[in-house]
Structure 1
Amino acid sequence: MTFTTRPTLEGTFGMVSSTHWTASQSAMRLLELGGNAFDAAVAAGFVLHVVEPHLNGPGGEVPAIIATADDPRPRVLAGQGPAPAAATIEHYRTEGLDLIPGSGPLAAAVPGAVDAWLLLLRDKGTRSLAEVLEPAIGYARFGHPLLGRVSATIETVRELFENDWPTSADLWLSQGRVPEPGSLFTNPTYADTLERLVREGEAAGGSREAQIDAARLAWSQGFVAEAVDAFSRKAFRDSSGEAHSGLVTGADMAAYTAVWEDPATIDWQGHTVAKTGPWGQGPALLQTLRLLDAAADPAALDPSTPDGIHVVAESIKLSFADREAWYGDGEVPLDTLLSTEYAAERASLIGERASEDLRPGSPDGRAPAVAAYVLGRAERAARAGDATTGEPTVSRSGVTRGDTCHVDVVDRWGNMISATPSGGWLQSSPTIPELGFCLGSRMQMFWLEEGLASSLAPGRRPRTTLTPTLVLRDGQPYMACGSPGGDQQDQWQLLFLLRHLVQGQGLQEAIDAPAWHTTSFPGSFYPRETEPGVLVAEDRLGADTFADLERRGHTVRVSDPWSLGRLCAVTRDPGSGVLRAGANPRGMQGYAVGR
């Protein structure tokens, strides 16, 4: 019998897995009230704003992938806000910057999360806005026990809040003190914001859908947009060490709406794997799966053995090199990047020794373009100063392992969703006092160089690391899964897919198995570090495995035994209808619920 930290849940009514037990149970409540998976996911999303504020917020973003009981074809909910109209490379250059800061108003894209959640509720949900927001309003108004990680994050940025971000100090520090872990924490201003959205929606009258649209307008063209516009004009210190004002305006808010898109998909090992388009890093996972098919029989690639780790890691490096050169919100040669012919060409580069080079390919004969920005690690750290830096690092003096949230839901009818909310962290930017939340810092993913796939341009979406996954089996939705973790999200999901879909491990077993990832490509977050040849691994993989990998040229950095990956997953057997769920035990925060 295989040991797992907890059982894989099984049932027939509904399953939820998320990165916080309160969000999971809040979603389950909506299912019990007769709502579907999409009602449940929206409830969880807004609760996550309240209970994991260091990992996501209303000023952030959320991509999701869904399939419905009456239409199994995956659809992407694109809740990634774009660069504001005034966000030009020239503007940042005139500010003396060669990177977009990792924190502060100048790093903020247009908020995308709230409009995306409300669009999902309008188009695919069944319950009223008031019902779905009730749990989040309650926790914000009457309090929730504060996570220890939230307290630790606030302590890390306490001096910044006290000296430079007074509105954040007003919310997150009580009489100058960091709230104790487990203490009851309230955010009545955010509760007011949510209640006002509900009131303005209900005042519009009409159908459920019309009321949700009225709430969306209150967000994008009403009181929320007005407060964002006014506050964004103020200057605050950011991770560049200087004070800058933001660029998001009310007009930017009004111009943005979340949209539905087709996913990027491949057929692999008897399944169809669906990801976002190349404005996200998701297709890099699909590329890696293609590479593994070309490089070796995936059934022989155990990602816990030196042979398997080496081949998988070298495949990841090649795919993420292409991510750096080709992915962005524009024209991307994705058909070629995901083709078996291109994969075979790229797989031929995998040798016996670990590569330390960034080696993007040339799809269709095109020459790759990679940012010229190169700095030594020490100089980058010095540039970061004492301000917050983004995901997953909070500041030079402190580290948080959390960086994003995730939620998966499947209901008894077969509706399924995978969503990865992030951004708008409490440490991203100063709190907007009238709203009870801050803007995000997702624009740090743009390059301030012309001619790149992810160069900054007004109206363009940053190439996000947020990457939910939906898997079909026999043409029917089978699994929703995902993980927080920035550049590591698709790497940890890859290990999970190999273990579950190919090796046949159960959900919880595959989630619990030792994790690892490589950092041998440019990071997506300020200060954009690269660590050639580095492989970070949980020490449960063992000293013999590490010695073998080092003989192959990998620089192994051993991590704590339960420190990497925060996988969530739910499944529905297309034949029997049996539902299953698992959740990551690392950090003692994520939980699956269901029956």
Structure 2
Amino acid sequence: MQFTTRPTLQGTFGMVSTTHWLASQSAMAVLEDGGNAFDAAVAGAFVLHVVEPHLNGPAGEVPILLAPAGGAVRVLCGQGVAPAGAAPAHYRRLGLDLVPGTGPLAAAVPGAFDAWLLLLRDHGTKSLDDVLAYAIGYAEHGHPPVENVGAAVESVRRLFETEWTSSAQVYLPDGRAPRPGTLLRNPALAATWKRLLAETAGAGGREARIDAAREVWRTGFIAEALLRQSRRPTLDTSGERHTGTLTAADLAGWSATYETPVTYDWNGWTVCKAGPWSQGPVLLQQLALLPPRLPAPGSADYVHLLIENCKLAMADREAWYGDAAEVPLADLLSDAYNAGRRALVGERASYALRPGSPGGRAPRLPAHAHAHAPAGAAAGFDPMGAGEPT
């Protein structure tokens, strides 16, 4: 007999699951107030931007899978594109052969905010004030931070104190990183959302108000702030200071879009994922690699099979996913291709990166796929550029 402290959760009204209890609680409050699942998702997402700032934010990106009642599954792409000026030639002129891992040169067009608002406009029922109220409250009045927030801030303390000083004002207000038992506030974010609501208050109905907010993000005071930050020379992992390539035209010209999901039928289910821009189809290929009969769940053979399949699918991701050319998904998910790939799984773990040749194409791996840490290098990632893998 097996015992667990995690019981099966069931409900007759609605359920919410997020990575932070305050976001789940906020989203559930929206449902209890008569909102639908899309309203709840948007409210919860904006709370996550406050309580898990080390993991996501409104200037990040988001892939959204949605299934409206009685409608087809759709993908909402909240992955912003690279700025028009972020061409290889630009980085080479700067003496760089890789895009720095931090700093404005690494920034794409922000996508999350527009995607969440597009979801709210097209599928939600609540007003912009309603869904932002929870995030504004926690940002303005504070919330108890989880330990990982403090650990993440400590890892970039020197960067915050010397380069991203406005971040230091929020996350190192007294020279100490956020810690459990205290309240973490983000008054700048609360003020931003309050100003957004004030500037769009006269826009008209619910949908017009949401579109007005999207326009403020792209061309208004928020866009201006994003551009000021991009134009400020900032130290990055190259060890030098650079400005970004983001322009007003980049911000104004992009918006989130709807797409058809990539699907794979497995064991009586149709599994849906966002496109290869999200790396989601890697999971579908792992399903395609499974043999008709699986070893006993939890056994050593079962774990070995799943891990080796994951390695093969990830190797194909490294060789074939990108936006410079069409990704051969039909071949990558085909039965014939995966039967051949499945035969590569032996009794021992493989240490090789082994991409395949879908449709007879020759795989091409980026240089970073062969990166290694030099002997004696310190463990971990240094945002100031020291000890980067070569």
1:529-540 aligned at under 5 Å gives the runs none
CA distances 1:334-389 after superposition (whole Å, capped 9, x unpaired): 11111111111211222222222111111111111111343331279579874268
User: Tell me, what secondary structure is at the counterpart of 2:288?
Assistant: helix
Q: Establish whether residue 340 from structure 1 lines up as the match of residue 339 from structure 2.
A: no
CA distances 1:168-214 after superposition (whole Å, capped 9, x unpaired): 22221123232332311211111111122222332211x21111001
1:474-553 aligned at under 5 Å gives the runs none
CA distances 1:113-160 after superposition (whole Å, capped 9, x unpaired): 000000000011011010011000111111111222112222222222
| Equivalent in the alignment of 2:262 | 264
User: Tell me, what secondary structure is at the counterpart of 1:145?
Assistant: coil
| Equivalent in the alignment of 2:190 | 191
| Equivalent in the alignment of 1:33 | 33
1:131-530 aligned at under 5 Å gives the runs 131-205=130-204, 207-293=205-291, 296-298=292-294, 300-302=295-297, 304-329=298-323, 330-373=325-368, 374-378=370-374, 386-387=382-383
| Equivalent in the alignment of 1:119 | 118
Question: CA–CA distance in 2 between the matches of 1:327 and 1:134?
Answer: 39
The answer to whether the Cα contact below 8 Å between 1:109 and 1:248 also exists between their aligned partners in 2 is: yes
Question: CA–CA distance in 2 between the matches of 1:165 and 1:181?
Answer: 23
Question: How much identity, in percent, do the aligned residues show?
Answer: 59
**More strand, by proportion:** 1
Q: Establish whether residue 46 from structure 1 lines up as the match of residue 42 from structure 2.
A: no
RMSD of aligned residue pairs (Cα, Å): 2.1
Cα 1:177–1:311 shift into 2, 3 Å: closer
Cα 1:383–1:235 shift into 2, 3 Å: farther
Shift of 1:13: 0.6
User: Tell me, what secondary structure is at the counterpart of 1:184?
Assistant: coil
Question: CA–CA distance in 1 between the matches of 2:93 and 2:212?
Answer: 39
User: Tell me, what secondary structure is at the counterpart of 2:63?
Assistant: strand
Question: CA–CA distance in 1 between the matches of 2:181 and 2:336?
Answer: 54
| Equivalent in the alignment of 1:75 | 74
The answer to whether the Cα contact below 8 Å between 2:239 and 2:384 also exists between their aligned partners in 1 is: no
- Count of equivalent residues: 388
Structure number with the bigger relative contact order (C-alpha 8 A, sep ≥ 6) is 1
Question: CA–CA distance in 1 between the matches of 2:296 and 2:326?
Answer: 34
**More helix, by proportion:** 2
Cα 1:388–1:307 shift into 2, 3 Å: farther
| Residue identity matched to 1:145 | P
The answer to whether the Cα contact below 8 Å between 2:170 and 2:185 also exists between their aligned partners in 1 is: no
TM-score by length of structure 1 reads: 0.63
User: Tell me, what secondary structure is at the counterpart of 1:344?
Assistant: helix
Specify every segment of 5 or more residues in structure 1 that has no aligned partner in the other structure, as ranges.
390-394, 397-525, 530-595
Question: CA–CA distance in 2 between the matches of 1:385 and 1:280?
Answer: 23
User: Tell me, what secondary structure is at the counterpart of 2:169?
Assistant: helix
Question: CA–CA distance in 2 between the matches of 1:145 and 1:241?
Answer: 35
Q: Establish whether residue 57 from structure 1 lines up as the match of residue 53 from structure 2.
A: no
User: Tell me, what secondary structure is at the counterpart of 1:9?
Assistant: coil
The answer to whether the Cα contact below 8 Å between 1:280 and 1:327 also exists between their aligned partners in 2 is: no
CA distances 1:209-228 after superposition (whole Å, capped 9, x unpaired): 11100110011111111111
User: Tell me, what secondary structure is at the counterpart of 2:371?
Assistant: coil
Question: CA–CA distance in 1 between the matches of 2:316 and 2:59?
Answer: 30
Shift of 1:3: 2.0
Question: CA–CA distance in 1 between the matches of 2:2 and 2:380?
Answer: 45
The answer to whether the Cα contact below 8 Å between 1:228 and 1:249 also exists between their aligned partners in 2 is: no
Question: CA–CA distance in 1 between the matches of 2:196 and 2:118?
Answer: 14
Cα 1:333–1:380 shift into 2, 3 Å: farther
Specify every segment of 5 or more residues in structure 2 that has no aligned partner in the other structure, as ranges.
none
Question: CA–CA distance in 1 between the matches of 2:81 and 2:4?
Answer: 41
The answer to whether the Cα contact below 8 Å between 2:85 and 2:245 also exists between their aligned partners in 1 is: yes
